[in-house]
Amino acid sequence: MSAASTGARAVRPARRPGAGAARAARGFAERVWLVAVAAVLWEVVTRAVEETYFPPPTTIARTLRELWFGGPASHLFLTDQAMDDFATSLTHLFIGWAAAGAAGVAVGAAIGRSAVLNDLLNPVLEFLRAVPPPTLVPFFIMVFQLGATMQVVTIAFGVVWPVLLNTAEGVRTVEPLQLDTARVFGVGPVRRLLTIVLPAAAPKIFAGLRVALSFALILMVLSELFGSTAGIGSELIDAQRGFELPRMWAAIVMLGILGLLFNALFMLLERRLLAWHTGAQRLAG
């Protein structure tokens, strides 16, 4: 290390305490200012014209608190209804999403590695992918009856395709030289898959899982509109039937909050798990 570089490091100004927090707060404000302005305008306009179908945001927020966030601090301010609704909805969502993820990665990896299997299954998969998942809900109800199984199957069938297609595409991009080298050194097929193929395809797989998670939230609501007595979707349809518009809008806003939260948490997890891939790309560049 040269004296010049040592001196340069010595005179580098120390980072001010709280600078990172201030920068994060400024970035957050830049993202949400438009939402805040829209909420204020919504409040003013709806109160001025006494609009029936669009209750003021303050009314929606109060209903949210009454329904789900008015519980004791020992329960994280969640009400008993929140515990029931969130537990029911999120359990179905994550079971369906996880099942679709596992199936999508397995089938996608097999198709991506085998041209014969791809030619054989591609027409069937393309047909199934083209079928809108909501149109199969009556069939799933007939086969599985109303209940948790029908809801999980609806979610899993609808969200498997982004994972499957992204996995197959990611697997096809693996460098043949890497596989040939591993084969020369006696690395078996299973180990090649786990240590070379899937890690190389990981960015594509995670992209598919992120899209699938967004679809899973939509299908979770759809599946709960039919004969369900618990869950956020059930709350939504009950409010609509009773013409309880603040309650209905509270459910809609709650779903939006969950969607934003899921996406933010998934992207944070993705950045951490794929940090090695980002570093490798920088070195290669």
In order of their start, the domains of the chain are 80-175+201-274 (1.10.3720.10)
Instruction: List, in sequence order, the alpha helices (H) in the chain.
Output: 3-10, 19-49, 57-67, 80-113, 115-130, 137-144, 148-172, 176-184, 189-192, 198-224, 232-241, 245-273, 275-284
Task: Give which of 111, 115, 109, 104 is closest to 192, Cα–Cα.
Answer: 109
| Tokens 């998942």, located at residue | 133
Query: Residues 25-57: pLDDT tens digits?
Result: 676 667 777 888 888 888 888 888 877 788 889
Q: d(Cα 219, Cα 233) in Å, to the nearest integer?
A: 10
Question: How far, CA to CA in Å, does 14 sit from each of 6, 10, 29, 263?
Answer: 15, 10, 26, 34
Neighbour tally for 167: CB within 10 Å: 29
Mean pLDDT by 10 residues, the chain (285 residues): 48 57 67 81 84 86 90 84 90 96 94 88 89 89 89 94 94 85 84 88 94 94 83 90 91 92 92 76 58
Query: Residues 157-172: pLDDT tens digits?
Result: 999 999 999 999 999 9
Tell me the whole-structure pTM to 2 decimals.
0.82
